[in-house]
Structure 1
Amino acid sequence: MKIKLITTTYQNGEKNTLEKEKDFSADNGVEMQVVNLYPDVEYQEFDGFGAAITEAAGYTFSLMSEEKQNQILDAYFGGNGIRYQFIRSHIDSCDFSINPYTAMDDPNDADFKSFSLERDEKYIIPMLKRAEETAGKPLSVMLSPWSPPAFMKTNGSRTGGGALKPEYRSFWAEYICHYIKKYREKGFSIDMVTIQNEPNAKQTWDSCLYTSQEEKEFLRDYLYPSLTKNGLEDIAVFIWDHNKERMYERARAIMDEETNKMVQGVAFHWYTGEHFDAIQLVRDTFPDKKLYFTEGCVEYSRFSQEGQLENAQMYAYDIIGNINSGMNAFIDWNIILNKEGGPNHVNNFCDAPIMCDTENDIVEEKLSYTYIGHFSRYIEPGAKRIATTKYTDSLSLTALKNPDGSIVIVLLNRSKEDIPVHLRLNGEVAEFSIPGDSIMTGIV
């Protein structure tokens, strides 16, 4: 038995990825520096990886040459890329839009005669089409609203929080269904929707507040009946779509005997810390629900755009912790951005795994792109997480068994020192070392 090891190091601003093979030998009772893999002990199924095509991403993409556009698409969706399967996008505008917009803003148009996807058709839909062409298959798309139209809200604005007016709940549910149907008419596989992006955050950009009870009532009494009426019962509805620290409380407050069948999953973000235990609580309490990471990025307001190693390690550490706690899919935020970290209509700039200098037609793959690829290139949809044990907390790791039986283990070393490992599997041991400040993927 052999293990293929792919290792990425980063020193003095230079990335280096090397591949090598190691032989397993008989386990002669090794006790020190051991990492154990137990493929017969299985946990949740993993569905895949993806990212968001926002208007900002689509606009940036449109400014690049065809050669560079193809490079971006191949990097994410090509056979030699990091093989994304999911796309998230926004219903109407979000902060990563050029400016606020709605598909319809007439309070008297209950028949949606003035409804138009003109803005989506300009930048989002062209990039989504190209992504599917490169992937050679339909991508699974999730739609998330940042705010209802201003006329439906208590503060009369898309921005600054506010809430959905009770008298517009039915109208807004129908609006969401109309958005889904219009995308499906264009041939896209809209499979999932979240009820509200970050329902607990009053933002200077597009936002809308929901209490747990309001989200539950909107789902139970308006959105679910509207999806059913419109023949959209196959749409998977995800609740929460906000940070991890309150996901258990929200899940527990919304799901009961009546609403359980209406909810397919809980979506979560990373902006308030790791909170892996919160994911585990939801997994243990609601074992049949999908737990999807739906947004995370390196915000320039909080983190350095120069710290490529630290930023990449933040991605890998979070992915490992999330998977080990029960996550079923990882969907990153903006798939690409310009060199300023936008465009963003409220200057809420951030990093993306691929950044584009639109003036000079330059594509930059950040170290975070490579780190994500250490997972997404090798973990197949349908893989099952398997049990592991490790000898040191200096090492972060997760392991999954692909549908074909191959085992993928990802090991992250955030320390400066090399970490030796005796990898024990099925009565055999492979010995190797994980360099300091590196990530390693092993395939058996």
Structure 2
Amino acid sequence: MKDPSVIMIDDQVRHQTIDGFGFSTAFRRNELIKSLSEDKRREVLDLLFDPVKGAGLTILRLGIGSAPAGSPYDEMVSIQPEDPGGPDAPPRYVWDGDDNSQVWVAKEAQRYGVQRFFAVAWSAPAYMKDNGDDKNGGKLKPEWRRAYADYLVQYTRFYAGQGVRITELGFANEPDWTAPHPSMRFTPKEAADFVKLLGPLASGVRLVCCESLGWEEAKAYIAAIAADPEARRWVKVYTAHGYGTPVDTPLPTKQPTWMSEWNPNGTTWNESWYDGSGSDGYTIASAVHDALTFGNVSGYLYWLGASEGNTRALLRIDGETGTYRVSKRLWALAAFSRFIRPGAERIGASGAVPSLKVCAFRNPDGSRVVEVLNTGVAPRAWAGVSETAEVYLTASGRRSRSRRGRPRRPGAARARRGPPAAPR
């Protein structure tokens, strides 16, 4: 007996527009990629940015450094590492054209067509803060506010001089959390006040706020900015992370929202598609689906593209042997990023079977993408998918593709359909 249709797509229902998917190069992890041999380096870059060989990621999140000159690996060096003599003294910026190797990876990303570069400061340099440390929270000294705003704008100018346009700019990372690494606190009102100072200076850059620790926590920052008409005019994207609270509802704004940092907990390197650990590929696929459908996010940025040791990054690099390993987390993210391209719209989609998570998108070229995640333990076949669809399967042990609308084993699948003959 033929299976009943269990997936319904409605082109007339339109949700958010997608800005893209990406990852962060903060804390100099990109130096691990650069240390590989030329052929291995290209393979890793293909896995991250190539939409045919890899994930086709389209947003690069850069870290604006705050550490003194000569700081070791894992600390991002500032473009003004020393106090120039006070907030009113002429600045003494230092630019090496490298920026902790981030310029290199940004230029490589451009070769793959990446056009969106999101720069975020974890902290101001220590001398601008009331705790005299770029780590462990602390606040920006009031007298340094204008100098810090100029500092951030100068960072974007340095990149422009390298041929890389910073498209989005954030002045704080997790301003609601005191961290042992670079961090700086802003209350929602303080953030709104700083937006009014930075906004007019950051011409041609979309201002972002506020990178809060969790999704629910972002609402206080949005409310403070929404209550101030001058602050509201400058913020173009609202961002939050997935650590404190998960992405489970749309944020209260009409501006685009991004889930701009998250990776799962864990203490080991994990290459599994599904093992119940909470750091496997299935976990990532489910988190991305929920962010897109429950949170209506326009951008989804994983934490690190590559790192070392017992990392939850997408790839693990061993600098001693010059080799790398690929996790199923990469392919879980790629199941979305490779097919849902910038400018796509999420359209209506539903499933008649509770164990299937379903969402669908219409790309700018008219092609449609249907994402299906089987949350059950048994294989699930479905009917009603056009025979012209290409079906890709992410499951334990392999990634496969077929021309038929039926996955061969449990996992995540997505069907990419050609442009319809006419709008429905």
In structure 2, the partner of 1:249 is 220
Post-superposition offset of 1:31? 9.9
What are the superposed Cα offsets for residues 247-274 of structure 1, whole Å, 9 maximum, x if unpaired?
2232112223332211101112111343
8 Å Cα contact 1:39/1:386 also seen in 2: yes
- 1:70-117 Cα distance to aligned partner (Å, 9 max, x none): 111122223523212211111115899523532212142656653113
Unaligned segments of structure 1, at least 5 residues: 1-29, 342-349
Matched, 1:313 2:274: no
Take 1:87 and 1:47, find their aligned partners in 2: how far apart are those partners?
Answer: 12
Which one of the candidate residues 293, 296, 299 is aligned to 1:329?
299
Instruction: Report the Cα offset of residue 353 of structure 1.
Output: 1.0
Cα 1:413/1:377, change in 2 over 3 Å: same
- Post-superposition Cα deviations, 1:32-54, rounded to whole Å, max 9, x if no partner, equal 56221101211111121221122
**Is the CA contact 1:160–1:203 (under 8 Å) kept in the aligned structure 2?**
yes
Give the counterpart letter for 1:394 in structure 2: S
Matched, 1:374 2:347: no
Instruction: Pick which of 169-178 and 246-255 moved more.
Output: 246-255
Query: Residues 260, 162 of structure 1: CA spacing in aligned structure 2 closer, same or farther, 3 A cutoff?
Result: same
The Cα of 1:414 is off from its aligned counterpart by: 3.0
Relative distance call for 1:397 and 1:168 in structure 2 (3 A) is same
Give the drift of 1:373: 1.2
How many angstroms apart in 2 are the aligned matches of 1:307 and 1:365?
7
1:106 to 2:83 alignment: yes
SS of equivalent residue, structure 2 residue 110: helix
**AA paired with 2:297?**
M
Alignment deviations for residues 290-327 of structure 1 (CA, whole Å, 9 cap, x no partner): 111211123445xx433632421221111111111311
Give the 5 Å matches for 1:23-422: 34-80=6-52, 81-93=54-66, 98-99=74-75, 101-104=77-80, 105-108=82-85, 110=88, 113-118=91-96, 120-133=98-111, 135=112, 137=113, 139-220=115-196, 222-227=197-202, 232=203, 234-242=204-212, 243-256=214-227, 257-277=229-249, 280=250, 282=251, 285-287=252-254, 289-300=255-266, 304-306=268-270, 308-310=272-274, 311-324=280-293, 325-338=295-308, 340-341=309-310, 350-422=311-383
Offset from partner CA, 1:15-40 (integer Å, 9 cap, x none)? xxxxxxxxxxxxxxx99562211012
8 A Cα contact 1:255 1:263, kept in partner: no
The change in CA–CA distance for 1:161 and 1:116 in structure 2 (over 3 A counts) is same
Q: CA deviation at 1:170?
A: 0.9
RMSD, matched Cα? 2.6
Alpha carbons of structure 1 residues 173 and 431: separation in structure 2 relative to 1, 3 Å: same
Of 97-106 and 71-80, the range deviating more from structure 2: 97-106
Normalised by the length of structure 2, the TM-score is 0.84
Q: Secondary structure at the match of 2:285?
A: helix
Measure, in 2, the Cα distance between the counterparts of 1:97 and 1:273: 30
Q: Which has the higher helix share?
A: 1
Give the fraction of aligned pairs with identical amino acids, expressed as a percent.
22
Point out which structure has higher relative CO (alpha carbons under 8 A, 6+ apart). Answer: 1
